[in-house]
Amino acid sequence: MPESQTGSVIFAAGILMPVSSPPLQDGAVLVREGRIVAVGDLADLGHENPDVEVRFFPNYTIIPGAVNAHAHLGFRRKDAPEGGTFAGWLGKLIEHLPAKEAWTAEAARDCAREAIEAGTTYMAESSPYGECLPQLAESGLAGTVHAEFFPHEIGTPQEAVEFIIAKARELGEGLPGRVDAHVSVHSPYTVDPESSRLAARRTREMGWTLVIHLSESQEEVEFVRDGTGGLTDIFGANQWGGMGVSPVRYAQSVELLAPETIAAHLATGVSEEDIEILAQSGVAAAHCPRSNDFLGCGISPVPDMIGRGIRVGMGTDGLWSSPSMNLFEETLFAVELHGMSGATGLELATLGGARALGIEAETGTIEAGKWADLAVVETSPEDGDPEREVLEAAAGGGVAATVVGGNVIYNRLVG
Ligand SMILES: [Zn+2]
């Protein structure tokens, strides 16, 4: 199959699920120079564009590609620390870091490939100092790498923040058109309050998104509120804990909560008052339920957050806390966990992630004007809950082709 970003092509399938509008039988997408020009019946679009090549998948369903709102590429299944408790797992992870350097790049390549083969088209990745950017950029995915920084390794809060801003700008040079480098304030227990506040201000000045792991574990709640617990044992030098408030309230106090911020997890200790703060600030959430399950981090109040108008996307996190980079599999887990409909799940995995990342004008649904970011799934759902059937197929290895900006970056079909 020719793989060209230029020219025109029609992608069509037995069922087309645009997410932004009802499913279409024998639906088609006209793509020109990577963007969607029209969505409609195959018969009509084919008739109106007789010279355009048609790639028709009669027994398949075309859906928007998955938008992974929170992931780490630099892990592999092998050597994963035991789960059960967050602090226990994190302590082991830190012990493994020196040995991990030898294989991080290879893991990042493999993880990006696994995500693509599961229908992912956009990924918000977080890695120390943006170390996984090369592998994301060469994978064919669209996405943003959020460079994490650890102020104690650098200097004063001012020096640390200016360092990571300069680093992200440098990383951002010469990238493919749909790949960016932004910044992550890793967490309330690794980045001090002053560095957090400065990073929040500086990234907003740059017009960047900002990622933070927030309210993930009971240990984090204890660290922020009481200055005690398992994380204090690991990060004994980090003396700013014990502020008597929840992680969400703390994050608000250092200006971390804003529409440009994506708060990953929000799994443990998120009160109704916290949900109100999150809603008022316009912050987005990335829901990683399998990682939360593995690390004993409880269940994120996702239905309540959605009900309060908070933008929620799905995230796989990384392979040391999660079984796969398949965002549709992550989403099916969430659908079962929260008793959601398949339609809600499919929306969370696609448009929800795009909204959370502020890129819903560019991707997340199959609509004219957006990039042609598509997943071709081996299923022909009929009655009942067709979106759930598609999620189940995509979760179970049923993605047959992945298209990013009109470019076929994965195709296991003949032709
Ligand atoms: Zn994470």
Grade residue 5 by pLDDT with cuts at 50, 70 and 90: very low
* 29-60 residue pLDDT tens: 999 999 999 999 999 999 999 999 999 999 99
In sequence order, what DSSP letters do the residues of 242-311 get, joined into one string?
--SS-HHHHHHHTT--STTEEEEE--SS--HHHHHHHHHHT-EEEE-HHHHHHTT-----HHHHHHTT--
Q: What would the mean pLDDT of 174-186 be, rounded to a whole number? A: 97
Same domain (yes/no): 136, 189 = yes
pLDDT surpassing 60 at residue 310: yes
Q: Is residue 372 part of a domain?
A: yes
Domain assignment present for residue 350? The answer is: yes
| 1 is a domain residue | no
What is the number of structural domains in the chain?
2
CATH number for 106: 3.20.20.140
Query: Which residue among 356, 377, 401 closes a domain?
Result: 356
Task: Print the domain residue range for 281.
Answer: 67-356
pLDDT at 79: 87
**How many angstroms separate the alpha carbon of residue 213 from the centre of ligand 1?**
6
Q: Domain check: are 15 and 126 in the same one?
A: no
Residue 337 CB neighbour total at 10 angstroms: 16
Residue 309 burial class via C-beta count within 10 angstroms: exposed 0-12, middle 13-18, buried 19 and up: exposed
Long-range contacts of 227-230 (CB under 8 A, 24+ apart): 229/87, 230/85, 230/86, 230/87, 230/88, 230/91
Pairing label, strands 8-16, 261-265:
unpaired
pLDDT of residue 3: 45
Which pLDDT belongs to residue 1?
42
Task: Report yes or no on 2 lying in a domain.
Answer: no
CA–centroid distance, residue 58 to ligand 1 (Å): 38
- Asked whether residue 146 falls in the same domain as residue 295, the answer is yes
How confident is the model at residue 9, as a pLDDT? 97
pLDDT score at 413: 82
Task: Determine which of 10-14, 137-141, 194-198, 233-237 has the lowest per-residue pLDDT on average.
Answer: 233-237
Q: Tell how far the Cα of 140 is from the centroid of ligand 1, in angstroms.
A: 22
Q: What is the pLDDT of residues 248-263, one digit of tens each?
A: 999 999 999 999 999 9
Is 4's pLDDT higher than 80? no
In a domain? residue 151: yes
Residue 344 CA to ligand 1 centre (angstroms): 23
Please choose, from the candidates 330, 401, 327, 283, the residue with its C-alpha nearest in 3D space to the C-alpha of residue 67.
327
Per-residue pLDDT, 414: 57
Q: Which residues are placed with Cβ below 5 angstroms of ligand 1, an ion?
A: 317
- Do 91 and 207 sit in the same domain of this protein? yes
Sign of the C-alpha dihedral, residues 148, 153, 154, 158? positive
Predicted confidence (pLDDT) at residue 153 exceeds the cutoff of 80: yes
Residue 3 is assigned to a structural domain of this protein: no
In this structure, are 15 and 95 located in the same domain?
no
313-323 pLDDT, tens digit each: 999 999 999 99
The answer to whether residues 305 and 293 belong to one domain is yes
**% of the chain surpassing 70 pLDDT:** 98
Q: What is the pLDDT of residues 54-110, one digit of tens each?
A: 999 999 999 999 999 999 999 999 989 999 899 999 999 999 999 999 999 999 999
Cβ count near 44 (within 10 Å): 12
| DSSP for 318-382, written as a single string | -TTTSS-S-HHHHHHHHHHHHT--HHHHHHIIIIIHHHHTT-TTTSSS--TTSB--EEEES----
Q: Could you tell me if residue 13 is inside a domain?
A: yes
Pick from 334, 356, 378: which residue ends a domain? 356
Contact yes or no for 354/122 (Cβ under 8 A): yes
For residue 60, the surrounding DSSP H or E stretch is: strand 53-64
The yes-or-no verdict on residue 289 having pLDDT over 90 is yes
CA–CA distance, 352 with 312 (Å, rounded to integer): 6
Residue of higher predicted confidence among 384 and 10: 10
83 and 185 belong to one structural domain: yes
Q: Tell me: do 204 and 347 sit in the same domain.
A: yes
CA distance linking residue 119 with residue 402, whole number of Å: 5
pLDDT, position 2: 45
Given 332, 356, 380, the domain boundary residue is 356
Residue 14 CA to ligand 1 center (angstroms) comes to 37
CB neighbourhood size of 41 (10 A): 15
Pair 351, 404 in one domain? no
Q: Are residues 372 and 327 in the same domain?
A: no
Ligand 1 center to residue 315 CA distance, Å?
8
Whole-number Å distance, alpha carbon 318 to ligand 1 midpoint, is: 7
Q: Do 219 and 272 lie in a common domain?
A: yes
The confidence score (pLDDT) of residue 183 equals 98
The pLDDT of residue 415 is above 60: no
Residue 361 included in any domain: no
Give the residue from 151, 133, 147, 144 showing the smallest Cα distance to 188: 151
Checking DSSP bridges between strand 374-377 and strand 312-314, what pairing results, if any? Answer: unpaired
Q: Which of 3-7, 96-100, 356-360, 407-411 has the lowest mean pLDDT?
A: 3-7
Ligand 1 mean position to 187 CA, how many Å?
A: 10
Q: Are residues 121 and 255 in the same domain?
A: yes
- Residue 153 DSSP class: G
Q: How far is Cα 301 from Cα 103, in angstroms, rounded to an integer? A: 36
Q: What is the CATH number of the domain that holds 23?
A: 2.30.40.10
- Determine phi and psi for 336, rounding to 5 degrees: -70, -40
Quote the pLDDT of residue 239: 86
